[in-house]
Amino acid sequence: MRSRREAVPVDVLAIAAHPDDVELTCGGTLAGLKAQGRKFGIVDLTRGELGTRGSDAIRRKEAERAAEILGAEFRETLDFGDGRISGTREQELSVVDLIRRERPRLILTSYPEDRHPDHARAGRLVTDLAFYAGLRKIETSHPAHRPQQTIYFSTGYLHEPDFVVDVTAAMETRRAAIRAFSSQFHSEASTEPVTVLSQKSFLDAMDARARHFGFLIGVEFAEGFRSKRPPKLDDIVAAFEGFEPGF
Ligand SMILES: [Zn+2]
């Protein structure tokens, strides 16, 4: 991964509340973008320090490793405070400046309605800041830049997707990136408290979610997204290919 100081525009910036949110929701899409030669970066708004399992240092290492597996250009972890994402003016401007520095064409973030308030708050905040990043009269250390669109992944609660991305070819990479966060998931040897993520069935459930989205479009695995504007399709016939196998 490059150092965070080199300003090379990325195609996509994925911004979420906690380290592992991105991997669990859109890791396959990001790995697929990388395979197509596109560039992306990951930003965590918090260090996830309220997480029941693991420690700060362990999670930092896990997050770095996961970003490497997916092929991120960089991962930057901010420190807005786990469980305290509120968006002070200073925090808002730091995200505005980061968006301007990286000049992404798309922003990926949490759908602003979720079981975990941090995910919902992150989604709301990032939506607003992606817009503000384009206002020239808000001055930060980089020139104004507005991404083309902010699109959303479901984190806890599931939302009906507006479009889905075939991630079948990237599924092993996605799984490897998720497994990099081993402190968060089930382990027979662990004596730490059980959480939603560390239930034995959790990773199977994440796979099942990808399988469900895949089934909707006639492929093995997919990831679903919401967007307030519909994506532009160049070929509607190709877009629905394989929906009715055998016909
Ligand atoms: Zn989270």
Distance from residue 75's CA to the centre of ligand 1 (Å):
16
Collect residues with CB below 5 Å from ion ligand 1: 18, 21
Distance from residue 97's CA to the centre of ligand 1 (Å):
23
Distance from residue 130's CA to the centre of ligand 1 (Å):
20
Distance from residue 206's CA to the centre of ligand 1 (Å):
14
Long-range own/partner contacts, residues 136-142 (CB < 8 A, 24 or more apart)? 138/93, 138/96, 140/93, 140/96, 140/97, 140/100, 141/97, 141/101, 142/7, 142/97, 142/100, 142/101
Residue partners of 103: CB distance under 8 A and separation at least 6:
7, 9, 10, 145
d(CA 181, CA 118): 19
Distance from residue 103's CA to the centre of ligand 1 (Å):
25
Distance from residue 117's CA to the centre of ligand 1 (Å):
9
Distance from residue 23's CA to the centre of ligand 1 (Å):
10
CATH H-level superfamily of 12-232: LmbE-like (3.40.50.10320)
* pTM higher than 0.85: yes
Distance from residue 138's CA to the centre of ligand 1 (Å):
30
Distance from residue 24's CA to the centre of ligand 1 (Å):
9
Write down the domain spans for the chain: 12-232
d(CA 179, CA 70): 12
d(CA 110, CA 88): 19
Distance from residue 21's CA to the centre of ligand 1 (Å):
5
d(CA 176, CA 204): 14
The pLDDT tens digits of the residues spanning 79-134 come to 998 888 988 999 999 999 999 999 999 999 999 999 999 999 999 999 999 999 99
Q: Write out the E strands in 20-85.
A: 40-44, 74-77
Distance from residue 20's CA to the centre of ligand 1 (Å):
7
d(CA 85, CA 103): 23
Reading the chain (247 residues) residue by residue, the pLDDT tens digits are 655 556 679 999 999 999 999 999 999 999 999 999 999 999 999 988 877 777 888 889 999 999 999 999 999 999 998 888 988 999 999 999 999 999 999 999 999 999 999 999 999 999 999 999 999 999 999 999 999 999 999 999 999 999 999 999 999 999 999 999 988 887 777 777 777 777 888 999 999 999 999 999 999 999 999 999 999 999 999 999 989 888 8
Distance from residue 141's CA to the centre of ligand 1 (Å):
29
User: Of 93, 109, 86, 96, which is closest to residue 40 (Cα–Cα)?
Assistant: 109
Q: Is 238 helix (H, G, I), strand (E, B) or coil?
A: helix
